[in-house]
C-alpha cells in the first residue's frame, strides 16, 4: 500500500449498524463505506441485544468491523442483575474493542438518574477489570459524569463520543485525559458552529471521527439522501469539515485520526 492510499483510510468509531434502518441493505452499506475508504468500523452497542448483534456483525467482517459492548444510559432502566454477567461474556469476544456506550444523560432522563449512575459506575469498573477502553455518552450531566469517571476510572483510555458541548466542558474532558469523538454535528450550520472553533483545541492525537449513523446526516453533503439516513461512507464529509476548521489538508487529518483510533481501540492495520 502506498502512502497516498493510506492517507485516505478512515475509522468510523461510532456507527449503529445494528439499527433497524440498515436491515434491508446492510451489506451494501458496509461495501460503500469500504469503497469510500472507511476501512474500519466500530459498531456501537447500546444494550445487551444490540451489543450482541454488533458482535455477530463483526464476525462477518473480520478485521473490518468491531463492536462495543455496553448499556446506554437511556437503557439503564432495563438493566437487572442478570445484565452484569452478560456484558463481560460479550466483552470477552475478540471483536469487542471497548465498553460502552455508557454514561449519563440528564437531558431526556429516559431512565431515572440513580439507575443511570449505578450502571455507569458498573461499566467503568468492568472496563477496568477487562482492560478495555470506554466509549462514553454524556448530555447535561457533566459534573456528575466527571466525578464518577474520576473516582472509578484508573488506567483505561476513554472517548467522549459525539461531543457537542461548550468550551468549559471540552476543557474538563481534556483535563481528565479523555479522547474526543466528532460527528456530523460539526457540519450542521444551525447548531454545530461553535464546534468549528473548539475542534482546534483538541490535540490531533486525542481526536477521532464518527458518523453515529443512521443519525446525524452531514448537512454539508451537496446531495442528501431523501430518507435522511446517514451511513458510514459519509464519514468523509465529517473529515472534510474538520479539516477545513483546522486549516489542514484532509489527508493529514485522516492519517492522524486513523492512527489515533487504531491506537485507542488497539486495532491492527489491515492491508486494503
The answer to whether residue 137 forms part of the interface with Zn ion (CB under 5 A) is: yes
The answer to whether residue 139 forms part of the interface with Zn ion (CB under 5 A) is: no
Site string for Zn ion, 78-117 (x = CB under 5 A): ----------------------------------------
From residue 58, alpha-carbon distances to 45, 54, 211, 233, 250 in Å are 12, 6, 17, 17, 28
| Residue keyed to cell 457533566 | 142
Q: How far is the CB of 161 from Zn ion (least distance, A)?
A: 6
Compute, in degrees rounded to 10, the torsion defined by CA atoms 9, 201, 181, 264. Answer: 70
Q: How far is the CB of 255 from Zn ion (least distance, A)?
A: 26
Give yes or no for a cis peptide into 101 (omega within 30° of 0).
Answer: yes
Near Zn ion by CB under 5 A, which window of 18-26, 131-139, 173-181, 224-232? 131-139
Q: How far is the CB of 35 from Zn ion (least distance, A)?
A: 27
Of 213, 169, 211, 164, nearest in space to 192 by CA: 164
Q: How far is the CB of 17 from Zn ion (least distance, A)?
A: 15
**CB nearer Zn ion, residue 137 or residue 153:** 137
The answer to whether residue 8 forms part of the interface with Zn ion (CB under 5 A) is: no
Give the sign of the dihedral formed by CA 6, CA 10, CA 13, CA 19: negative
**CB nearer Zn ion, residue 39 or residue 137:** 137
**φ, ψ dihedrals at 113, nearest 5°:** -55, -45
- Could you tell me whether strands 134-139 and 158-160 are parallel, antiparallel, or unpaired per DSSP bridges? parallel
Give the number of residues in contact with Zn ion, rule: CB under 5 A: 1
**CB nearer Zn ion, residue 19 or residue 137:** 137
How far apart (Å, rounded) are the C-alpha atoms in residues 150 and 152? 6
Q: How far is the CB of 154 from Zn ion (least distance, A)?
A: 23
**CB nearer Zn ion, residue 137 or residue 179:** 137
**φ, ψ dihedrals at 98, nearest 5°:** -160, 160
SS3 letters across 120-141 = HHHHHHHHHHHCCCEEEEEECC
**CB nearer Zn ion, residue 217 or residue 256:** 217
Which residues make up the interface to Zn ion (CB under 5 A)?
Answer: 137
Amino acid at each position: 500500500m502506498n502512502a497516498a492510499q493510506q492517507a485516505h483510510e478512515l475509522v468510523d468509531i461510532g456507527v449503529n449498524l445494528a439499527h433497524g434502518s440498515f436491515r434491508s441493505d446492510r451489506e451494501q452499506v458496509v461495501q460503500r463505506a469500504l469503497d469510500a475508504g472507511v476501512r474500519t468500523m466500530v459498531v456501537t452497542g447500546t444494550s445487551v441485544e444490540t451489543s450482541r448483534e454488533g458482535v455477530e456483525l463483526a464476525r462477518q467482517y473480520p478485521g473490518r468491523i468491531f463492536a462495543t459492548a455496553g448499556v446506554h444510559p437511556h437503557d439503564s432502566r432495563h438493566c437487572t442483575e442478570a445484565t452484569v454477567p452478560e456484558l463481560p461474556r460479550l466483552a470477552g469476544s475478540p471483536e469487542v474493542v471497548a465498553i460502552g456506550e455508557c454514561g449519563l444523560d440528564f437531558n431526556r432522563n429516559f431512565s431515572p438518574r440513580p439507575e443511570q449512575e449505578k450502571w455507569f459506575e458498573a461499566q467503568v469498573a468492568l472496563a477496568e477489570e477487562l482492560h478495555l477502553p470506554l466509549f462514553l455518552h454524556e448530555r447535561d450531566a457533566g459534573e456528575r459524569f466527571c466525578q464518577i469517571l474520576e473516582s472509578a476510572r484508573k488506567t483505561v483510555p476513554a472517548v467522549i463520543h459525539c461531543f457537542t458541548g461548550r468550551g468549559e466542558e471540552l476543557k474538563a474532558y481534556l483535563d481528565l485525559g479523555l479522547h474526543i469523538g466528532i460527528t456530523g454535528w460539526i457540519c450542521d450550520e444551525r447548531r454545530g458552529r461553535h464546534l468549528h472553533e473548539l475542534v482546534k483545541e483538541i490535540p490531533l492525537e486525542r481526536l477521532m471521527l464518527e458518523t453515529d449513523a443512521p443519525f446525524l446526516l452531514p448537512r454539508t453533503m451537496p446531495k442528501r439522501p431523501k430518507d435522511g439516513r446517514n451511513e458510514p461512507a459519509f464519514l468523509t464529509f465529517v473529515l472534510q469539515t474538520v479539516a477545513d476548521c483546522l486549516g489542514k489538508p484532509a489527508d493529514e487529518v485522516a492519517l492522524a485520526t486513523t492512527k489515533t483510533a487504531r491506537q485507542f481501540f488497539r486495532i491492527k492495520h489491515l492491508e486494503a
